[in-house]
Amino acid sequence: MAAEISPQTRQLADHVSAALQTPLPANVVRKTKHHIIDTIAAMVSGAQLPPGRRGLAYVAQSHDGQATLIGGLRSSPVEAALANGISAHADETDDSHPRSISHPGCAVVPAALAVGEVAKRSGEEVLRAVATGYDVGTRVVLSLGTPVLNTESSGRSTHAYCSLFGAAGAAAVLYGLDEQQVRHTLSYAAQSASGVTSWVRDPNHVEKAFVFAGMPSSNGVRAAAMVASGCDGVPDVFSGVPNFLDALSTEVRRDELSDGLGERYEILHTNIKKFAVGSPAQAAVQAVLELVEEQPIDPTDVAQIRIVLPHDLARVVDERAMPDINCQYLVAGTLVDRGFTFAMAHDDDRMNDPTILALRECNELIPDPQRAGVRTADVTVTLRDGTSRQRFVGAVRGTVDDPMSDDEINAKAVDLMEPVLGRSTTETLLARLWSIEECADITDVTTPLLGAVLTEAGT
């Protein structure tokens, strides 16, 4: 007797299997370009940082294949997705999807690039696969019920689950799998689903990058590659007894698997960071940046800096050891420089500069018990003469509520990539990415990444 397939699973699999032949609306194409550019920039800059270097070192033990590794190597698509995924989340600069509490791009884009290369796909096909990956990963997480992230308790990590199914969806598109094969891919992905919130205790961001991006991206590619090679599996891992959703949740919302497919593109509801810092610090950096752009503040005149953040995530950026997730340091550095740069946000030595230390010592970070689940900040700078300057940021630049322009996306990418690739290669790469739908072969985009030089400064 033929296995019963739920309508939700069949609709999801149909959507994935038809993606190569389904044009995207113009606004989705533009937004997908933004996320591909933003994620590749994160990969390039992240390859210089300890997590990215360690991921590359692991994969380089057996480098041989068709998929590009940043730094001049090639590997299998499974291992390329692992290493490039870790690089994409080595820092705090990749995108995020609020409703599913996830970071889709750092896993979906590396998976799509790796499989796109070995499958000889065009830029337009990769665009469609990436948009599909965002649709799949976020919907699987939402089908488990309302996502919750409580960094003070133990639980499964929505970030890893979204990344896994997103990568599997994108890879399935580019392998050209049919509806049945997509369902089998999703089943293999379900069997490799893992990730728990213990990543919050990772002191050096290496394991966190593995959990959020490297592991799920690699597992998603592997799931699709196994089915593409001839493996079959469970016809519907999301329904029947037993199934994936019931195993993990008592609040299953199965309809979320297919809700709005082809009409609601989740990439349009995904945020891009303007500033390469931990998400909870975004609004605080923007607030002080707006203050100093409006009127410079002399650091020696500052008596106190008061930062109020939502209570659920304030501890994530409270005087952390890493500069890019230390809110007090980021606010001080932005105030002194009267601007924000990737270099400032990653300067370990500067955290102990006397001027910065003086500002950190008069800096107070206060959790707001009335706010949670949002990225807001209220920053007040009090001067020694008793006057004060205050700024509240309720919608961070780059979020869906306040999106970045093409020029801002490009400027951020240049800031992240030019120190690694050089001006000429960066300009060439960005020109190709902005017209990615015209690339007959995605290797036109990935080849410049082979020129990334891993500097000793990144160790």
**What's the token pair of residue 133?**
């990956």
Q: Residue 237 burial (CB < 10 Å; 0-12/13-18/19+)?
A: buried
Helix 50-59 to helix 26-46 angle, to the nearest 10 degrees? 90
Helix (H) or strand (E) holding 309: strand 302-310
Checking if the pLDDT of 245 tops 50, the result is: yes
- The CATH code belonging to domain 7-274+404-458 is 1.10.4100.10
> What is the CATH code for 279-393?
3.30.1330.120
- pLDDT tens by residue, 17-29: 999 999 999 999 9
Give 248-299 pLDDT, tens digit per residue: 999 999 999 999 999 999 999 999 999 989 888 999 999 999 999 999 999 9
Angstrom distance (rounded) from CA 242 to CA 22? 33
What does the block give as tokens for 47? 């390859």
Q: Which two tokens stand for residue 414?
A: 């240049």
DSSP conformational letter for 5:
-
Q: What is the mean pLDDT of the chain?
A: 93
Per-residue pLDDT, averaged over 49-64, amounts to 83
The tens digit of pLDDT for each residue in 390-403 reads 999 998 999 998 99
- Which of the 8 DSSP states describes residue 22? S
379, β-bridge pairs: 307, 391
Task: Provide DSSP, 247-310.
Answer: HH-SS--GGGGTTTTTTS-GGGG-B--SSSS-GGGHHHHHHHHHHHHHS---GGGEEEEEEEEE
pLDDT at 456 over 50: no
Average pLDDT (104-112) is: 98
Q: How far apart are CA 175 and CA 281, in angstroms?
A: 39
Does pLDDT of 150 surpass 80?
A: no
Please tell me whether residue 410 adopts helix, strand or coil conformation. helix
Domain ranges of the chain: 7-274+404-458, 279-393
DSSP string, 71-135: TTEEE-HHHHHHHHHHHHTSSS-S-BBTTTTB--HHHHHHHHHHHHHHTT--HHHHHHHHHHHHH
Asked if 107 and 189 touch (Cβ cutoff 8 Å), the reply is no
CA distance 272 to 33: 12
- Residue 206 identity: V
448: its two tokens: 């410049």
Q: Are 70 and 87 in contact (CB under 8 A)?
A: yes
Dihedrals φ, ψ of 367, to 5°? -75, 130
Label residue 60 by pLDDT band (50, 70, 90).
confident
Cβ partners under 8 Å of residue 347, min gap 6: 323, 333
pLDDT at 1 over 50: no
Q: What is the pTM of this model?
A: 0.90
Query: Residue 452 to residues 171, 192, 439, 455: CA-CA distances in angstroms?
Result: 25, 31, 21, 9
